[in-house]
Amino acid sequence: MIKFKQIVWVIMIVGGFVLTSCSPPTPHMGQPIGSVLTVSKEKPVVSSVQDGEEQPDTQCSYFYFLWGKTAETEGRYDEALEAYEKAVVCDSGADYVIRNLTVLLLRMNRKQQAMDWVEKLMQADPEDQKVKLFQADLLGAMGEGERAIAIYQAHLVLEPKDTEVLLKLGKQYLSSLDYLKARDSFEQLVLIEPDSLLGFYYLARLYRELKFNQKAAEAYQKTLDLNWTSPLALEAADFYESQKMTEQAVALYQELLSDDESSEDAANRLVRLYLIQKQSDKALAVLKELRGNALDNQKVDLAIGRIFMDQKKYQEAITIFREMLTRDPQLNVARSLLALALYEAGDRAQAKSVLLAVKPDEQGFDDALSLLVKMYADDKEFSKAIGLLTKVISASKGETQNYEFAISSLYEEQGKLVEAEKALLESLRRYPEEESGYFTYGMFLERHGRLAEAIAQMEKVLILNPDDPLALNYIGYSWAERGVRLPEALEYVKKAVEQRPDDGFIQDSLGWVYFKMGDLQQAAETLVRAIALEPEDPTIHEHLGDVYLALQKPQLALDTYKKSLELSNKDEDKARVSAKIGAITP
């Protein structure tokens, strides 16, 4: 939301007023003589009085008003409230004081008191439109949107071209999530005032929310034409990216950089966009240009080095990372990247030597250790990897469960299943309250055909955390695969979905449970949603193909099976899906 600074007067108090009937609130400790006070642009109005009524003391009232405004600005609300109330005592008709007093009460969460003061204003002049609109503003702030909308609408019957009220009405509709009526208000506003910056800005955001993407693009462009600012340009460029309007996004980022060469946000977004388009040379050019202006060249150099790695220009990457370590020998993120570049360049011994230099008490040690263990494993140096991890576990005073998992994986990779299981059991002995240990052990058992034991471990996870989505999903899917306990399976997987609604694999489990229960239409809808979340997973495509076949939609089944086959990389999966395709085609 755009916020605009209110026009204010700055009034220098150079002396006090001589007061005979009022005493000021206790001054704030340390408040200097000649304080600068920021007050609203409303000027005091001398109230008219009838014969016999007490003459208002406007000088007294305005003094307290200034005092209250200063206290409010500095966050001393109780003092401000006292001052405003005394200002009203001095002049009960000073509506500008009452307005500020009302806003302060609302800020202090004294809503009913605020509304009481508004009612007093209304009683003084029931037909005063300004007071009615102020009441509507207050109602909106209090969450009573319907009453606020009714007042705005009544005012617009009298003043249909009041753009300020049309803006407020539109914003209130937005707060009420009534987007179509909000759109009508803002569109009427810009029709009356074609250069309304706020009108077009709200329309841009509203059209974006309503998926009226062409209109959103036009509204963003109009807003930029009226008032080009960096935050607005970034927001518009983000919208263009979301709509694959790459040229417009690139143009805006380039314009932002031409306006401010040190704009790291624009540079980072432009670099990301170039990398998505596989235009790494253009990304490098942006980063090199930014390097001379950036406050933090370290981030820029890391990005340049990573791009060189992606381009397989390992020597250039090695040079960059070595220069960074020369400037900062403790920068272990650069050390890990240097090791990776050396490893990919073929200098494996030097790569491992670089990582071994990272000490356990240094930042980035875990990353360096993980990379070093991976290098040992890739080179089949399992004993070195296990020895290193064992040494780290023995010396560590902190949690080492992940290292024990790694040892188990290294044994499993060699086919030494007894040793692998022993490492996991040792981890469970050391960390009996850590649910991740039981889950990891359960997955190990599942990989080696010990399904009943695996489910038992997942149930132990649920004892520690009944809402664990992965354990719920595992058990629910396992029951569905065997066609047993399907109502419970549905309950488990639905609970998992509640925890992780955007997990495509859990959505797949839910679709599969529906399929096994015979709810084919619900299964199809759920699996389509799963594919939208995980479009590259062959199993989900195969499941959807099975559902389409059961729905007697052979062409859809065939197309889906073919997509699954295209994505599969395991021979057994390819053979199974190929057989299903063969059963459909003559």
Distance between CA atoms of 89 and 188, rounded to whole angstroms?
Answer: 43
Assess if residue 429 is contained within a domain. Answer: yes
* Torsion angle, alpha carbons of 348, 351, 352, 356, to 10: 170
Assess if residue 268 is contained within a domain. Answer: no
> Are residue 417 and residue 324 in the same domain, yes or no?
no
Single-letter amino acid, residue 203: L
Q: What is the pLDDT along the chain (586 residues), one digit of tens a residue?
A: 333 333 222 222 223 322 333 433 433 333 332 332 233 334 344 344 444 445 677 888 788 888 878 888 888 888 888 887 887 788 777 777 777 777 777 778 787 777 777 777 666 666 767 777 777 777 777 777 888 888 888 888 988 998 888 998 889 888 888 999 999 999 999 999 999 999 999 999 999 999 999 999 999 999 999 988 888 888 998 898 888 888 888 888 888 888 775 577 788 788 888 888 788 888 888 888 777 665 567 888 888 888 888 889 999 999 989 999 998 888 888 888 999 899 999 999 999 999 998 888 888 888 889 999 999 999 999 999 999 999 999 988 888 899 999 999 999 999 999 999 999 999 999 999 999 999 999 999 999 999 999 999 999 999 999 999 999 999 999 999 999 999 999 999 999 999 999 999 999 999 999 999 999 999 999 999 999 999 999 999 999 999 999 999 999 999 999 999 999 999 999 999 999 999 998 6
| pTM over the 0.85 mark | no
Distance between CA atoms of 216 and 204, rounded to whole angstroms?
Answer: 4
- Domain holding 87, by residue range, is 1-45+55-124
> Are residue 34 and residue 114 in the same domain, yes or no?
yes
178 burial level (CB within 10 Å; 0-12, 13-18, 19+): middle
Assess if residue 548 is contained within a domain. Answer: no
> Are residue 115 and residue 10 in the same domain, yes or no?
yes
10 burial level (CB within 10 Å; 0-12, 13-18, 19+): exposed
Single-letter amino acid, residue 41: K
> Are residue 314 and residue 353 in the same domain, yes or no?
yes
Single-letter amino acid, residue 372: L
Q: Which of residues 313, 348, 375 is at a domain's end?
A: 375
Assess if residue 35 is contained within a domain. Answer: yes
Q: If you search the block for the tokens 């001054």, which residue do you land on? A: 27
> Are residue 368 and residue 390 in the same domain, yes or no?
no
Q: Is 27 left (phi over 0), alpha (psi -120 to 50) or beta?
A: beta
CA-closest candidate to residue 350, choices 339, 335, 359: 339
Distance between CA atoms of 312 and 153, rounded to whole angstroms?
Answer: 65
> Are residue 339 and residue 438 in the same domain, yes or no?
no
pLDDT of residue 54: 57
Q: Which of residues 359, 375, 391 is at a domain's end?
A: 375
Q: How far is it between the farthest Cα atoms of the chain?
A: 107
- Residue 302 sits in a domain of what CATH number? 1.25.40.10
> Are residue 413 and residue 349 in the same domain, yes or no?
no
Question: Residue 181 pairs with which residues in a beta bridge?
Answer: none
Assess if residue 13 is contained within a domain. Answer: yes
pLDDT of residue 115: 74
> Are residue 358 and residue 417 in the same domain, yes or no?
no
Single-letter amino acid, residue 339: A
Secondary structure of residue 53 in the 3-state scheme: coil
> Are residue 403 and residue 339 in the same domain, yes or no?
no
Assess if residue 545 is contained within a domain. Answer: no
Assess if residue 405 is contained within a domain. Answer: yes
> Are residue 369 and residue 410 in the same domain, yes or no?
no
pLDDT of residue 292: 66
Work out how many domains the chain is built from and give that number: 3
| Structure tokens that stand for 382 in this block | 């399992």
> Are residue 3 and residue 96 in the same domain, yes or no?
yes
* DSSP per-residue letters across 390-423: HHHHHH-SS--HHHHHHHHHHHHHTT-HHHHHHH
pLDDT of residue 23: 39
Distance between CA atoms of 568 and 577, rounded to whole angstroms?
Answer: 9
Q: Which of residues 344, 375, 406 is at a domain's end?
A: 375
> Are residue 371 and residue 388 in the same domain, yes or no?
no
User: What are the start-end ranges of the H helices in 125-212?
Assistant: 129-141, 145-158, 163-175, 179-192, 197-209
Distance between CA atoms of 415 and 417, rounded to whole angstroms?
Answer: 6
